[in-house]
Amino acid sequence: MHDLGRLDELPADYRAALARAGLVPLWPSLRALLPPGQPRPATRPMHWAYEALRPLLMQAGTLTPIEKAERRVLVLANPGFGPGSLQASAAMYLGMQLLLPGEWAPSHRHTPNAVRMVVEGEGAYTTVQGQRCPMQRGDLILTPTGLWHEHGHDGTAPVVWLDVLDLPLVHYLEASYHEPGERQAVHGSASGPLCPEGLRPAPGFQREGGRYPLLRYPWADARVALLALGERRPAQAAVQLEYVNPATGGPAQNILGFHALMLRPGQRLALPVRSPAAVFHLIEGTAEVRVGETVFRLAEADTCCAPGFTPVQLANRSADRPAFFFVADESPLHEKLGLIETRSVPGASSPTTLDPA
Ligand code: 1HN
């Protein structure tokens, strides 16, 4: 492969003439745009410990009233995208949001899709398109593109949740905007699963809120399902559930994908190397996440991210308790764009359990 010409090899007056004409030579940038063999992700492996983040979030609660924030959020910033980065990966935004007792985060809607993974506290709720969704630890609540949403809190202690949005992508596409709204009239509750297992709304089913019949996925149900699946799957197999849209059987949202994953006591799992970046949030237990050469030790409520094209191994360090992860990734986007790739690593094409270390 030839070394290509550099910008500084070109005469200064020629470069100035190009700039005046609104032109740029391709060859100095060609290798950065199309690196050999695989991408060079800006996304860095990162770990955000809840223990470190929580006091700063609580401090935001005293420094900034909700009226001055609308959404009181500390963004989990990946430094690979530069100082002040507002993203965790190319397509994923992560933020920890705090709502204090009695506070209200007013109704709005926007083009990016959001989900909330509840981390701490009782008594808060999100109203999505008129459906009141109570928030309990580990619950996943969707606010798909264009749906009205607002948050309230009738409890007595702070409530914290992890927001996951496809904002970096939608903003890059120059498609990101919001509209403020009035307080919503509540005309339903999404306090339980819409349908039992094996049933789904028939084609043509429409509720206000349209193509998303299920907005709240209670953790209590997902946890029971993971434990039951773990009983039935071989001891070394991955125990993983995908959050799906029951109307389509496809991913719960269009751009980002969401899973719940259980590691048995002592289990180690090598994930296939894939093109999308992924985020791992530990709902329960203690675990180790190895991203390439970097090892993170996760406590409950910790979050980390892994760039695409990078080997990831998960390990449950406890000998007697399962560990439960919430996983968010960019796979629906890569699938739709025809960019999805899975590469074999020795011993891992589908999730593979390694011998205990
Ligand atoms: C948003 O609407 C929420 O509704 C949270 O709670 C975080 C980050 C960027 C843009 C919109 C919310 C957000 C957001």
| Structural domain includes residue 129 | yes
∠ CA 85-95-251, nearest 5°, is 105
User: Is-contact 169 255, C-beta < 8 A?
Assistant: yes
Probe target for ligand 1 pocket from 71, 74, 113, 215, with the most ligand atoms within 8 Å of CB: 71
Q: Whose CA is nearest to atom 6 of ligand 1?
A: 71
Regarding the beta carbon of 149 and ligand 1, being less than 6 Å apart is answered yes
| Structural domain includes residue 356 | no
Nearest-atom number in ligand 1 for the CA of 151 is 6
Distance 307 CA to ligand 1 centre (A): 23
Q: Whose CA is nearest to atom 9 of ligand 1?
A: 167
pLDDT at res. 235: 84
Q: Whose CA is nearest to atom 1 of ligand 1?
A: 71
Regarding the beta carbon of 171 and ligand 1, being less than 6 Å apart is answered no
Regarding the beta carbon of 94 and ligand 1, being less than 6 Å apart is answered no
Distance 246 CA to ligand 1 centre (A): 25
Residues 6+ apart with CB under 8 A from 137: 118, 119, 120, 121, 219, 283
| Structural domain includes residue 266 | yes
Q: Whose CA is nearest to atom 10 of ligand 1?
A: 167
Query: 148, 228, 224, 153: which is closest to 193 by C-alpha?
Result: 224
| Structural domain includes residue 65 | yes
Regarding the beta carbon of 163 and ligand 1, being less than 6 Å apart is answered yes
CA dist list (Å): 17 to 4, 21, 29, 46: 21, 6, 18, 42
Regarding the beta carbon of 167 and ligand 1, being less than 6 Å apart is answered yes
**Which CATH number goes with the domain that contains 60?**
2.60.120.10
Regarding the beta carbon of 95 and ligand 1, being less than 6 Å apart is answered yes
Q: How many domains does the chain have?
A: 1
DSSP secondary-structure letter at 348? Answer: B
Which helix (H) or strand (E) covers residue 194, if one does? none
Report the alpha-carbon distance of residue 115 to residue 48 in Å, rounded. Answer: 19
Regarding the beta carbon of 169 and ligand 1, being less than 6 Å apart is answered no
- Alpha helices in the chain, H assignment, sequence order: 12-20, 30-33, 50-63, 167-172, 219-232, 331-337
Q: Whose CA is nearest to atom 12 of ligand 1?
A: 71
pLDDT at res. 357: 43
Query: 116, 111, 114: which is closest to 173 by C-alpha?
Result: 111
Encode the chain (357 residues) as per-residue pLDDT tens digits.
789 999 999 999 999 999 999 999 999 999 999 999 999 999 999 999 999 999 999 999 999 999 999 999 999 999 999 999 999 999 999 999 999 999 999 999 999 999 999 999 999 999 999 999 999 999 999 999 999 999 999 999 999 999 999 999 999 999 999 999 999 999 888 765 556 667 766 665 444 446 899 999 999 999 999 999 999 998 888 999 999 999 899 999 999 999 999 999 999 999 999 999 999 999 999 999 999 999 999 999 999 999 999 999 999 999 999 999 999 999 999 999 999 999 976 555 466 676 554
Nearest-atom number in ligand 1 for the CA of 95 is 7
Regarding the beta carbon of 114 and ligand 1, being less than 6 Å apart is answered yes
Report the alpha-carbon distance of residue 128 to residue 72 in Å, rounded. Answer: 18
pLDDT at res. 208: 46
Residues 6+ apart with CB under 8 A from 293: none
**Per-position b or e across 118-152, b if 16+ CB within 10 A of its CB:** bbbbebbbbbbbbbbbbbbbbbbbbbbbebbbbbb
Report the alpha-carbon distance of residue 357 to residue 349 in Å, rounded. Answer: 20
Question: Which structural domain, as residue segments, surrounds residue 243?
Answer: 46-343
Report the alpha-carbon distance of residue 234 to residue 344 in Å, rounded. Answer: 22
Regarding the beta carbon of 348 and ligand 1, being less than 6 Å apart is answered no
Probe target for ligand 1 pocket from 92, 104, 165, with the most ligand atoms within 8 Å of CB: 165
| Structural domain includes residue 4 | no
